[in-house]
Structure 1
Amino acid sequence: MTTALSILIIGGGQMGSAIALGFIRSSAKISITIVEPDLDRRIEITDTGIIAVKETPNPITSEVIILATPPHIFPLLSELHPQLQHFTGVIVSVMAGVSLSELTTRLNRTQVFRSIPNLACSINQGTTLSIPGPQVTRKNEDLINRIFSTLGTSIFVTEEHLLDSATALVGGGPAYISYFTAALIEYAKIAGFDNASATSMVIQILRGTSALLEAGPDTPMRLCERVMTPGGTTQKAINHFNHMQIKTSIVDGLNQSFLHSVELGRRSWR
C-alpha cells in the first residue's frame, strides 16, 4: 500500500482475526480496528497487537468495513451497528452465503463486495475470491483487489454462484488439507516416529509437493502417476484409496459444504 488506509472489521472470530493479522503484517500504512463484543476474545485479539473495541465507533472514520460476523447475525446487523446507516465508504462481506442482493438491500449501500478469504491470509499466503456489487466503481474495485492482494492471491469473479463454491473450496481448503495432514502424521506415529519427527516430515512433504505442482508442468494426477511404480508400494495405497472412493467422497463433501453455504444465505434472508 502506498497510501494510508483505515479498515474496520466487525467480528473478531477466526476469519476476522486472520484478515487483520495479514493486513498488519503486510503494511504499516494499514490501520486495523476490530469490533468484538466478547471480552475474552477482545483480550486475545489485543494480545496479538491489534486494536479491539467492544462497540462500533461513532462516527465511523474508516474507509473500508469488513463484515466478518456469523451469517445468522446479518439480519440484526443494522440494529446492532446503527452507525452503518451513515457510512459512505466500501463494505466487504466475508460472511458465508449472504448474497450481494441481500447485502445491498439490507445495508442500503451500493459500494458493496462479497469475498471469501481463508485462514492463510493471516500469514499473507491466503486466497481470496471476490465479486463486486453491480454499481461498484472501478476505483473501489481496484482498492479491494489491492488490499486483498496483500494477503496472498486475490481473484475477482463475475458469477456470484462461484462464491458459494469458493466457500467450500477456498474457505474450507485449509481444513481439508489439515485433515489429510493429520492422517499422514497419525500413520507416521503408528509406524514408530515421535510426534515432532512425524509432523516435520509430513509438513515438508506437503511443502515439497506444493512446490513441484507450482513448478509444473505435471498435473496433480500426473505427478501421482510419476511417484507410482507399476505394482509398487505407492500404487498399492492409491488402489486402496480408489477402492474406498476417497476422491469421490472428497468431491461429495465439498458439494455438501457448497449446499450448506447456499442454505445459510437463505436463512439470513428470512
Structure 2
Amino acid sequence: MSAAMNIMIVGGGHMGSAIAFGLKRSSADMLITVVEPDATRRNDIKNAGISTLEELPSPLIADVIFLAIPPQAFLGFLENNARIGRYAGIVISVMAGIRIRELTAHLKNSQIYRTIPNLPCGVNEGMTVLITAAETTTASNIVVNQLLAKLGNLLELKDEALLDSATALVGGGPAYIAYFAAALTEYAISAGFDKSSATSIILQLLHGTTAILEQRKEPAINLCEKVMTAGGTTERAIDWFNQHGVRAAITEGLKISCARSIELGQR
C-alpha cells in the first residue's frame, strides 16, 4: 500500500479524530482530510497537523473514505451529499448498527467495509473488528487490511450479527475499563493519596496487569485468583463484589449496549 494514499474521514468526533491521529502517527506522509462541520473540532484537528474541510468536497477524490458520523445522522448525510452515491472507491463505515446491505444499497457501491474500532486507535493501540461486503475485490481487501492494521489489532469476522456485540465490547470497552479505573482513583484519593500519586498507581496497575495477561495467555480470572489468598484482603473485596453482583452487572450492561446497537440498525 502506498504511503501517500489519500484518506478522507467524514466526521471529526472522538472516533473519527482518533482514526485520523492514528493514521498520521503511523504514516506521516499519508494525505488525510477530515470533513467536520463543527468549527471547534476542525480547529483541534488542524492543530494536530491534519487537513480539514467544513463539508464534503466536489469532486470527491479519495482512495478511501471513512464514514465516522453518528448512525442517526446517516440518512440526513445521504440527503445532503448525493455525490457520495457516485463514489466508487473504498468506503469504511465505523457507524454502529448500520448493516452492510443498507450501506451498499444507499451508497450504490460494492467496495464497502463495516468496522467497529475504538479510541486507542488514536495511539495505534486500538482493536478493530471488520466485516466486508460480498463483492469487495482482493485489491481493496489488501488496502483495507493494511490500513486498519496501522491502528492496532484487527479481527475480521464472517458473521455480521457479531458486530452488535463488538460494538458493546470493542467500541465501548475502553469506557468500561476507564470507568473501573476512575473508581480505583476515587478510592485512592479518598484514602489520602494525592491526585498525581493516585493516577500514577492506577496507570501502572493497568499497565502491569495487561503485561501479565499478555505474557501468560491465561484467562483473566486466573490472575484474579492468584492475587487472592484465603482469608486475605483481596479475597474480601472480591467476595463483596460477587455478593453484590458486580460481574453480572457488567455483563448485563454489555447486553444492553448490544441491544442499543441493534436498535440503531432498525431505526
Judge conservation of contact 2:117–2:129 (CA < 8 Å) in 1. yes
Q: CA deviation at 1:2?
A: 4.5
Conservation of the 8 A alpha-carbon contact between 2:124 and 2:151: yes
Distance in 2 (CA, whole Å) between partners of 1:218 and 1:89 is 42
Instruction: Quote the RMSD (CA, aligned, Å).
Output: 1.0
Question: Normalising by structure 2, what TM-score?
Answer: 0.98
Q: Distance in 2 between matches of 1:81 and 1:41?
A: 20
Q: How does 1:171-250 map to 2 (within 5 A)?
A: 171-250=171-250
- The residue aligned with 1:63 is 63
- What is the letter of the counterpart of residue 165 of structure 2? S
Letter in 2 for 1:182: A
Q: Which 10-residue stretch deviates more, 132-141 or 201-210?
A: 132-141
Cα separation, 1, equivalents of 2:86 and 2:67: 16
Match of 2:151 in 1: 151
Structure 2 CA distance for aligned equivalents of residues 203 and 44 of structure 1:
26
User: What residue is the counterpart of 2:169 in the other structure?
Assistant: 169
**Deviations 1:4-42, CA, capped at 9 Å, x for gaps:** 211111111110000000000001242110111112221
Alpha-carbon distance, 1:75 to partner: 1.1
Match of residue 100 from structure 1: 100
**Equivalenced residues, count:** 267
Partners of 1:218 and 1:44 in 2: CA distance: 41
Q: Give the 3-state SS of the residue equivalent to 2:266 in structure 1.
A: helix
Partner amino acid for 1:117? P
SS at structure 1 position matched to 2:101:
helix
- Structure 2 distance, partners of 1:229, 1:52, is 55
Aligned-residue sequence identity (percent) comes to: 48
Contact 2:110 2:136 in 1 (8 A): yes
Match of residue 109 from structure 1: 109
Distance in 1 between the 2:3 and 2:171 partners? Answer: 29
Contact (CA 8 Å) 2:3, 2:27: kept in 1 or not? Answer: no
Partner of 1:38: 38
- The amino acid across from 2:223 in the alignment is L
Distance of aligned partners of 1:5 and 1:204 in 2 relative to their CA distance in 1, 3 Å threshold: same
Would the aligned equivalents of 1:2 and 1:29 in 2 still touch at CA under 8 Å?
no
How far does the alpha carbon of each residue in 1:224-247 deviate from its partner, in whole angstroms, 9 at most, with x for none?
111001010000000000001100
Residues 169-191 of structure 1 deviation map (CA, whole Å, 9 limit, x = unaligned): 00000100000000001111111
1:81: Cα distance to partner?
1.8
Secondary structure in 1 matching 2:52? strand
Give the letter aligned to residue 45 of structure 2: I
* Cα displacement string for residues 34-79 of structure 1 (whole angstroms, at most 9, x for unaligned residues): 1111122211211121111111111121110000011011112222
CA distance in 2, matches of 1:217, 1:50: 38
Distance across 1 between alignment mates of 2:26 and 2:110? 28
Measured at CA, do residues 10 and 265 of structure 1 come closer, stay the same or move farther in structure 2, by a change above 3 Å?
same
Contact 1:93 1:114 (8 Å CA) reproduced: yes
91-100 or 210-219: bigger deviation: 210-219
Long gaps (5+) in structure 1: none
Distance in 2 (alpha carbons) for counterparts of 1:122 and 1:3: 18
The DSSP-based 3-state class of the residue aligned with 1:130 is strand
Q: Contact 2:129 / 2:166 at 8 angstroms: preserved in 1?
A: yes
Matched residue SS, 1:69: coil
User: Which shifted more, 193-202 or 23-32?
Assistant: 23-32
Q: For the Cα contact (< 8 Å) 1:33–1:51, is it kept in 2?
A: yes
**Contact conserved, 1:104 with 1:110, CA < 8 A, in 2?**
yes
Q: Which runs of 5+ in 2 are unaligned?
A: none
Secondary structure of 2:210's counterpart equals: helix
